[in-house]
């Protein structure tokens, strides 16, 4: 047995750090916590917690079954807490123009071929392949971060989630 304790966070148990200002404005660091953001979000609200020009990291609370999404470029889903099923479809025809950035929320399940599914736990990263459609399902509240590009579904509320003083 090891006495090492690696500390991961979860919805139920996270300890947020913070910015200790010497000669600065804490807003420069855009500091938030993905578990806190997910805790205060609606299921599958894709809240930006990181932004670098067009690129974003979204944090979402996975709970129940999500809408279907489609995207013209690769995205990557990293489970930070809980257990999440990712269902993948290959649409019969492209659902998103090739030059459109970010995920698009679909109004209904797409028609096409089943690509497969992934059941991912904490620390597992799943490829959401370009040109596919995907849906999340979680029996229990879980937390997922997504590496993607800012799009129609990306929610920005920096002043609400970030340290300001």
Partner 1 sequence: MSTAFAVQASEPDNYYGYRRFKKGAFEFHRDEYFVHIRWPKGTHTMAADIFLRALQRDIAWNFFYGTVNFDGVFGTLNHYGTVDMFAGRFNDAYRKAGRDYNETYKSEDLMATFKAILEDWTNRGYDPFAAPEETKQPYGRKDGDNKRAIERQRVTAKRMVGLPGDTPQRSDAGGYPVNRHFADVPQDQPEVYPEPGFEGEVSAFNLFAYLSRSDVTWNPSVCSVVKDSLYCPTSEEFILPVEHGNDRVEWFMQLSDEIIWEIKRKETGAPRARVVCRAGDICAMPADIRHQGFSPKRSMLLVWENNSNAIPALIESGKAPVVPVVF
Residues in contact with partner 1 by CB under 8 A are 2, 4-9, 14-24, 26-36, 49-53, 55, 57, 73-76, 78, 80, 86, 88, 90, 113-127, 129, 132, 145, 147-149, 156, 158-159, 162
CA–CA dist 44, 155 (Å, integer): 11
- Smaller CB separation from partner 1, 109 or 119: 119
| Distance in Å, CB of 108 to partner 1, minimum | 21
Segment (H or E) for 46: strand 46-52
Cα 76 versus chain centre, distance: 8
| Distance in Å, CB of 40 to partner 1, minimum | 13
- Smaller CB separation from partner 1, 3 or 107: 3
102 touches 46 (CB < 8 A): no
CA–CA dist 35, 33 (Å, integer): 6
- Smaller CB separation from partner 1, 105 or 162: 162
């Amino acid at each position: 047995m090891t006495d090492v304790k690696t500390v991961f966070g979860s919805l139920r148990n996270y300890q947020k750090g913070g910015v200790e200002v010497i000669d600065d404005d804490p807003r420069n660091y855009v500091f938030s916590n993905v578990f806190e953001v997910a805790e205060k979000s609606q299921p599958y609200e894709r809240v930006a917690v990181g932004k670098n020009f067009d690129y974003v990291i979204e944090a979402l609370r996975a709970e129940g079954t999500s809408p279907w999404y489609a995207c013209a470029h690769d995205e990557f889903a990293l489970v930070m807490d809980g257990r999440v099923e990712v269902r993948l479809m290959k649409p019969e025809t492209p659902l998103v123009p090739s030059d459109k950035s970010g995920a698009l929320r679909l109004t209904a399940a797409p028609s096409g071929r089943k690509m497969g599914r992934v059941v991912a736990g904490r620390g597992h990263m799943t490829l959401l392949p370009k040109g596919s459609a995907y849906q999340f399902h979680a029996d229990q509240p879980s937390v997922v971060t997504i590496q993607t590009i800012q799009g129609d579904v990306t929610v920005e509320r920096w002043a609400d989630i970030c340290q300001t003083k």
